[in-house]
Amino acid sequence: MLPLRSFTDGPLIPLLSYAASCLGVFLGLRCATRARACQGPSRGRWLLLAAVAIGSAGIWGMDFVALLGFGVAGEITRYNVLVVIVSLLVAMVAAAVGLLIIGVDRGESRALPVGGLIVSGILLGAGVTIAHYLAMAALRVPGRLSYDPLLVVISLILAIGAATALLLGAVRLRSAGSTLGASLIVGVLFTAMHYTATAAVHLSPASGPAGLIVGGAGGVTASGFLLPVILSLSVVTFLVGAAIALSPTEDAMRYDAALLDRIRARSATPLDTRTAVLRPSRDADGVPLRNGTPVWNGTAPDPFPGQGAAGHGRAGRHSGAAGDGSAAGNGFVPDDGPARQAPPWALGDFPDRSDPS
């Protein structure tokens, strides 16, 4: 057996891999909160953006940064670029499948689909495990790789547990504080899965009887991979973070959606011709109308008692339903005020200026 080292640079590499995992999971869960407030294609776009953040930084970034500290004593570790890219794609596809199964067409009022959560967790966990062992297959070291079956199973269980916790948070968490706490926990599980899986690796000489031969002179060294990995992860996290920062919050999205639904509902409601008839506010003589009826309440005192229907010549035009200057026609109620007495000039009674008194 050849000696393997998982901590060639001390605790720095494990801490960086854990930070990358927490950052990717946090951004992915914040995208998932936006997805829950959307419907149709908008929800799918947010879920895919969450899958990119989780698959690239949360899973693959953590795994590959941790592999930078993995190697054989006295040997230069190289990586097959094509296999590394395939492992990245597998991680993102697994995250997308899990999120889409658990997140598409699930309304806020519907109960959490436990069966869908379990299936999504298994698929995502299996995808995380496959992505890790593909990254291990990208190693170019002189020898044959073999694995301890028990530790492989334990790493798979850890991956499924981390994936299930991540998906549960994607459908339940709302605040940034709870999302941060969940990302710290899921980051621990993903990192533990990685180091459990690397502990399962045994490297024997290439002349050994069994194992995957990973020798060869081709590939890129870890130092040559470091800058592209850092730049790519930085670009992805910046773009996803910018999309989250520039978008409305989940509560704002729900408010806007509810407002649009109310507007659509009002626009789609047919007019009732019995209640939606447009009526004038005043008649031809200027008398205020309410629902087509003169606004006279008959409660104002009669300034001309005893004169009856013939008491006012022109007043009949301004009177109420009785068509005269009686008590029923002397008071009027404006649309926006209390009842008051009509002035004499409004009733047509002008003083006789020829009368010396």
| pTM for the model | 0.68
Same structural domain, 74 and 129: yes
Same structural domain, 12 and 101: yes
| Residue 100, number of CB atoms within 10 A of its CB | 18
Residue 22 lies in a domain: yes
Strand order in the sheet with 78-79: 139-140, 78-79, 220-221
DSSP structure class, residue 113: -
Residues across the chain: 357
Rounded distance between C-alpha atoms, residue 222 and residue 66, angstroms: 11
Nearest to 193 by CA among 132, 272, 265, 122: 132
Residue 54 lies in a domain: yes
List the structure tokens of 131.
């992505």
Same structural domain, 210 and 70: yes
Same structural domain, 84 and 227: yes
Same structural domain, 202 and 332: no
Task: State residue 334 phi and psi, 5-degree precision.
Answer: -65, 165
Residue 42 lies in a domain: yes
Domain boundary among 252, 273, 300: 252
The model's confidence at residue 357, banded by pLDDT at 50, 70 and 90, is very low
The model's confidence at residue 269, banded by pLDDT at 50, 70 and 90, is low
Arithmetic mean of pLDDT, 46-58: 93
Rounded distance between C-alpha atoms, residue 204 and residue 208, angstroms: 6
Nearest to 327 by CA among 305, 354, 310, 349: 305
Residue type, 139: L
Q: Any idea what the Cα angle at residue 231 is, between residues 230 and 232, rounded to 5°?
A: 95
Q: What is the pLDDT of residue 216?
A: 53
Rounded distance between C-alpha atoms, residue 294 and residue 335, angstroms: 10
The string of DSSP letters for 47-99 reads HHHHHHHIIIIIIIIHHHHHHTT-EETTS--EE-HHHHHHHHHHHHHHHHHHH
Rounded distance between C-alpha atoms, residue 310 and residue 323, angstroms: 10
Residue 45 lies in a domain: yes
Same structural domain, 15 and 69: yes
Write down the number of H helices and E strands in the chain.
11, 12
Same structural domain, 306 and 221: no
Rounded distance between C-alpha atoms, residue 313 and residue 155, angstroms: 104
Same structural domain, 246 and 303: no
Q: If residue 212 lies in a helix (H) or strand (E), which one and from where to where?
A: strand 212-213
Arithmetic mean of pLDDT, 179-206: 88
Residue 269 lies in a domain: no
Same structural domain, 113 and 46: yes
Same structural domain, 225 and 326: no
DSSP structure class, residue 288: B
Same structural domain, 94 and 175: yes
Q: What is the pLDDT of residue 130?
A: 93
Please, are residues 47 and 99 in contact by the beta-carbon 8 Å criterion? Answer: yes
Rounded distance between C-alpha atoms, residue 357 and residue 119, angstroms: 104
Domain boundary among 225, 252, 279: 252
The model's confidence at residue 105, banded by pLDDT at 50, 70 and 90, is low
Domain that holds residue 227: 4-252
CA 251, chain centre distance (Å)? 9
Same structural domain, 25 and 141: yes
Residue 102 lies in a domain: yes
Query: Structural domain tally of the chain?
Result: 2
Block residue for tokens 């459908």: 171
Residue 353 lies in a domain: no
**Which of 76-80, 187-191, 352-356 shows the lowest per-residue confidence on average (mean pLDDT)?**
352-356
Q: Any idea what the Cα angle at residue 143 is, between residues 139 and 145, rounded to 5°?
A: 65
Rounded distance between C-alpha atoms, residue 113 and residue 100, angstroms: 13
Q: pLDDT per residue over 302-322, tens digit each?
A: 444 444 444 444 444 444 444
